Structure 1
Amino acid sequence: MGVIRSLKRNFTGFLKKMLNKKSARIGIYGPPNAGKTTLANRILRDWTGDAMGSVSNVAHETRRARRREGVTIKGNGNSLSLDIIDTPGLATKIDFHEFMEQGMSEAESKRRAKEATEGVIEAVKWLENLDGIILVMDATEDPFTQVNVTVIGNMEARGLPLLIAANKIDREDSSPSTIREAFPQHPLVAISALEGKNIDTLYEEIAKRFG
């Protein structure tokens, strides 16, 4: 009987531990070239030593959602296991001429535009399976864009917790306060995903808000 009681206690403790385990599936969203993949790479390198994918100055370089499971981060005494989804840049219209301006052929440009459009549709579908959103915005650009307003409205309609990462504060022309004033209803952390500025603060907010 003593062995049975011991097994029960061990199983109960294991079950409680599993039930109390904090995990979340988080999507990294935003317009093209805002720094989504740079941020995803920063998170993975800090906590796993790995990377999500290559970074490019060409818009819509990420044309398919990429997922990494079980990334455990810690912040402010909290620990959170994340499934991170790096999504393609959201846009209301993708013109193949944008790729041609980068020196690509017309055929290659049209192929990429088609893939990028399909990637945006895929990114929107992922919203059905997420626990929260990190919305990356370029702090050097005007936040009042159709894409930003549409994306935030869509996420608010779905009731998804949203954390804004105002990226590129390493640049002199950045103005994260402009983003804060534009969308005061959502928490914001001003960061440089490239240089790692304020990344620890971002981790604390992620662990607090999505845990």
Structure 2
Amino acid sequence: MGLLTELRDSITRVTEGLFSASEPKRIGIYGPPNAGKTTLANRIARDWTGDAVGPESHIPHETRRARRKENVTIERNGRSVTIDVVDTPGVTTKVDYNEFLDHDMEKDDAIRRSREATEGVAEAMHWLREDVDGVIYVLDSSTDPFTQVNTMLIGIIESQDLPVLILANKVDLEDSNIQRIANAFPQHETIPLSALEGDNMDEVYDKIAEYFG
């Protein structure tokens, strides 16, 4: 009886392993507000499924809830990886409603948006600590990457031993500085791209297959 039980348990473990290996990995797209996370998420989703993840905007904190595009299969150089793309709200230490007033919003709407954005930051942190299998970290290459938020998030990602791909976005901008991002996080490879223009997406997809496959 004991032998049969052990055999049954062994078969169960193998079966569970097979099924779990086939499940899509949840890859969170993280970074500060306006780094181009949704633009990247939409670029990936459209290239491989034909659908978008969510609306893009120049207004900060447009993404105030995590949005998920499931079963995105990326095929590169004979390697195939299926992921769920999770577009998360931009993480910041403080959301000021005055940011929204600068975009001609009424005060009540600005306060509501700032409250929703603050809740979105908390949701993004929950996903990072509990629900993602890997991270694509997007930074605006025209801005200074040496911030408290970036250092904190990269530290959390590393402490959880999550695979992370750092992308230096917006290389189409004149003041883009890829090396500055590479210098900020030398322990990780930095991949340049323009999610808006689609520049260097082939290398991005190669690295997604390599890191998360």
With normalisation by structure 2, the TM-score equals 0.88
Structure 1 residue corresponding to 2:135, chosen from 127, 133, 136: 133
Structure 1 residues 45 and 183: alpha-carbon distance in aligned structure 2, compared to 1, 3 A threshold: same
How far apart, CA to CA, are the structure 1 residues paired with 2:99 and 2:20?
A: 49
Q: Is the 8 A contact 1:138 1:168 kept in 2?
A: yes
Q: 1:23, CA displacement in angstroms?
A: 3.3
Q: Is the 8 A contact 1:162 1:187 kept in 2?
A: no
Correspondence 1:7-26 to 2 at 5 A: 21=22, 23-26=24-27
> What is the CA RMSD across the aligned residues, in angstroms?
1.8
Structure 1 residue corresponding to 2:173, chosen from 137, 146, 171: 171
How far apart, CA to CA, are the structure 1 residues paired with 2:104 and 2:186?
A: 40
Moved over 3 A (4+): 14-23
Correspondence 1:74-153 to 2 at 5 A: 74-127=75-128, 128-153=130-155
2:157 counterpart residue number: 155
2:193 counterpart residue number: 191
In structure 2, runs of 5+ residues without a counterpart are 1-14
The number of aligned residues is 198
How far apart, CA to CA, are the structure 2 residues paired with 1:185 and 1:109?
A: 39
Q: 1:18, CA displacement in angstroms?
A: 5.6
Q: Is the 8 A contact 1:25 1:130 kept in 2?
A: yes
Q: Is the 8 A contact 1:31 1:91 kept in 2?
A: yes
1:8 counterpart residue number: none
How far apart, CA to CA, are the structure 1 residues paired with 2:87 and 2:81?
A: 18
Q: 1:203, CA displacement in angstroms?
A: 0.6
1:56 counterpart residue number: 57
How far apart, CA to CA, are the structure 1 residues paired with 2:16 and 2:113?
A: 48
1:7 counterpart residue number: none
Q: 1:73, CA displacement in angstroms?
A: 0.6
In structure 1, runs of 5+ residues without a counterpart are 1-13
Structure 2 residue corresponding to 1:204, chosen from 203, 206, 211: 206
Q: Which 10-residue stretch deviates more, 132-141 or 167-176?
A: 167-176
Sequence identity of aligned pairs in percent? Answer: 56
Give the 3-state SS of the residue equivalent to 2:53 in structure 1.
coil
Q: 1:21, CA displacement in angstroms?
A: 3.9
Q: Is the 8 A contact 1:22 1:80 kept in 2?
A: no
Structure 1 residues 79 and 97: alpha-carbon distance in aligned structure 2, compared to 1, 3 A threshold: same
Q: 1:76, CA displacement in angstroms?
A: 2.8
Q: Is the 8 A contact 1:139 1:175 kept in 2?
A: yes
Q: 1:20, CA displacement in angstroms?
A: 6.0
With normalisation by structure 1, the TM-score equals 0.89
Q: Residues 176-201 of structure 1, C-alpha deviation per residue, up to 9 Å, x if partnerless?
A: 11101110111221000011111110
Structure 1 residues 22 and 77: alpha-carbon distance in aligned structure 2, compared to 1, 3 A threshold: farther
